[in-house]
């Protein structure tokens, strides 16, 4: 049973004077606690109109940014959903509480004293809900690598709360997860898509990226419907709206990797009359900071164990750097850590003998880029930057100047001009691993790994059979399938 705290023990005032607030305020006891709405999209990088993408039309999210704060340097703690969401909902980096392996089958409760954030909202008298997209009668995604203590949510729809009761609600949007949904209203010409330099120029890849960008446009319209629903209910004025991605986009060098495409996410926040409209905030934000911040804004004390830091309110703490971690993803075992400040990123590959191309059924089956890279590499048509993905091993360490090299193509580890920066970031990562008790060094139960290997081997076999492909198709055969599907009208 969840123990209920005495609501009178909570702080009922909050002097908010951090950057981004239009004025300091104190909430009196008669003023209702703010409603909280998290809109979370899957697999989304900051490829929105308000972030400067020239092809993507996102009028609803653009308007949200115009009415609130757009954060330019927000990052997930993991480049894949279950560890990222486990961290987000506890305010703890996933490696600190042992929930870092993607889709753990043998889930355990959280360590003593650590709770899901909704527990604190329950205890403060909030109604909590979790909806799947626009289906407000269907539970939304949690995807936690742990067992919560009791029911984490009261329902699926904020409209089911008691009269006058404040709510904490999240709406989970799947649209930008593969397979993508094309936008028939505003199609994007693949020929106008500017591929990152780490990608070869190939029509299948252009179409795949256009589909991803179009799915963001469809996502935007659905988010517009959620915001309209909030306004129809007369709740917009006292609702703090958070929109963010759970991690980066589903492309090579992105999802499941610690490059910018895997961990940098869009993050927009609106609170009418409390936040300065049209603000742009360049501070480093980790998604676990959202949990600490939202507690602070609701007047709920932040638990002392939380690693998230409030970035608004009277307890604001600015970050010097963010840290992210990648461990097992599906059946693919790896361990990677990164630390990033405002200019430089340091990556450590603890298993450099495991190449980027070690088998992963999800990427093999869902990413057209995998066979395209394999085919062009076989034909000698990848340049030096693109061919890195096909290397037999990963570098043990990587260092990038993100101001000059935003696509992380030039590893500076061996450059003597950057040795001081390398030593500094290496030392800070070592200290973080030690101080937080990073559990990634603890071997996972081999039975867990074998289970996922067997499951995804079977999934891969089924996939190939359904697509009339051999179990181990040649790159040319697999690319031909994607050409038929994406380019020849059979999408």
34-326 to CATH, choices 3.10.20.740, 3.30.565.10, 3.40.710.10, 3.40.720.10: 3.40.720.10
Q: pLDDT value at position 424?
A: 98
432 exposure class (CB count in 10 Å sphere: 0-12, 13-18, 19+): middle
pLDDT at 26 over 80: no
pLDDT at 452 over 70: yes
Q: What's the average model confidence in pLDDT over 336-360?
A: 97
pLDDT at 464 over 60: yes
Above pLDDT 90, what percent of the chain?
91
Radius of gyration of the chain (CA): 22
Q: pLDDT value at position 30?
A: 52
pLDDT at 276 over 50: yes
Q: What's the average model confidence in pLDDT over 146-165?
A: 97
Q: Output the average pLDDT for the chain.
A: 93
Location of each CATH 3.40.720.10 domain in the chain = 34-326
pLDDT at 15 over 50: no
**What is the torsional sign of CA 480, 483, 486, 491?**
negative
Q: pLDDT value at position 315?
A: 82
Q: What tokens appear for 19 in the block?
A: 């950057």
pLDDT at 23 over 60: no
Q: 18: pLDDT confidence band, cut at 50, 70 and 90?
A: very low
Above pLDDT 70, what percent of the chain?
93
Provide CB contacts within 8 A for 192, sequence distance 6+: 55
pLDDT tens for residues 98-151? 999 999 988 999 999 999 999 999 999 999 999 999 999 999 999 999 999 999
Of the two residues 346 and 16, the one the predictor is more confident about is 346
Q: What is the pTM of this model?
A: 0.93
pLDDT tens for residues 37-79? 999 999 999 999 999 999 999 999 999 999 999 999 999 999 9
pLDDT at 93 over 50: yes
pLDDT at 446 over 80: yes
Q: pLDDT value at position 32?
A: 77
């Amino acid at each position: 049973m969840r123990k209920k705290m005495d609501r009178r023990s909570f702080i009922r005032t909050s002097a908010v004077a951090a950057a981004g607030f239009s004025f300091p305020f104190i909430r009196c006891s008669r003023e209702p606690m703010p409603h909280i709405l998290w809109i979370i999209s899957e697999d989304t990088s900051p490829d929105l109109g308000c972030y400067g993408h020239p092809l993507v039309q996102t009028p609803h999210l653009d308007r949200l940014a115009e009415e609130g704060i757009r954060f330019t340097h927000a990052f997930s703690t993991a480049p894949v959903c279950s560890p990222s969401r486990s961290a987000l909902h506890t305010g703890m980096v996933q490696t600190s509480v042992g929930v870092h392996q993607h889709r753990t089958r043998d889930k355990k409760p959280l360590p003593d004293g650590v709770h899901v954030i909704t527990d604190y909202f329950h205890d403060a008298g909030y109604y909590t809900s979790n909806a799947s997209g626009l289906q407000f009668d269907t539970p939304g995604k949690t995807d936690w690598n742990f067992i919560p203590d009791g029911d984490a949510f009261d329902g699926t729809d904020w409209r089911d709360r008691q009269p006058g009761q404040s709510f904490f609600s999240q709406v989970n949007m799947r649209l930008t997860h593969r397979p993508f949904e094309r936008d028939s209203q505003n199609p994007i010409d693949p020929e106008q898509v500017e591929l990152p330099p780490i990608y070869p120029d190939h029509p299948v890849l252009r179409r795949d990226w256009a589909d991803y960008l179009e799915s963001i446009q469809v996502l935007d319209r659905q988010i517009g419907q959620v915001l309209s629903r909030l306004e129809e209910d007369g709740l917009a004025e006292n609702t703090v709206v958070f929109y963010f991605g759970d991690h980066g986009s589903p492309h090579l060098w992105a999802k499941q990797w610690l490059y910018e495409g895997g961990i940098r996410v869009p993050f927009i926040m609106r609170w009418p009359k409390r936040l300065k409209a049209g603000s742009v905030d360049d501070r480093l934000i980790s998604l676990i900071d959202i949990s600490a911040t939202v507690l602070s804004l609701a007047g709920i004390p932040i638990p002392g164990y939380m690693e998230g830091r409030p970035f608004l309110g009277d307890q604001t703490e600015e970050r010097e750097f963010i840290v992210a971690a990648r461990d097992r993803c599906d059946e693919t075992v790896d361990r990677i850590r990164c630390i990033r400040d405002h200019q430089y990123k340091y990556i450590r590959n603890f298993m450099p003998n495991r190449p980027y191309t070690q088998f992963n059924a999800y990427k093999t089956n869902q990413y057209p880029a995998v066979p395209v890279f394999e085919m062009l590499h076989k034909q000698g048509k990848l340049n030096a930057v693109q061919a890195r993905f096909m290397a037999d091993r990963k570098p043990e360490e990587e260092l990038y100047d993100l101001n000059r090299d935003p696509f992380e193509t030039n590893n500076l580890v061996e450059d003597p001009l950057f040795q001081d920066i390398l030593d500094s970031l290496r030392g800070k990562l070592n200290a973080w691993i030690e101080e937080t008790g990073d559990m990634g060094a603890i071997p996972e139960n081999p039975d867990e790994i074998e289970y996922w290997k067997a499951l995804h081997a079977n999934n891969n076999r089924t996939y190939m059979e359904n697509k009339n492909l051999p179990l181990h198709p040649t790159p040319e055969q697999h690319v031909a399938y994607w050409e038929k599907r994406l380019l020849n009208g059979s999408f």
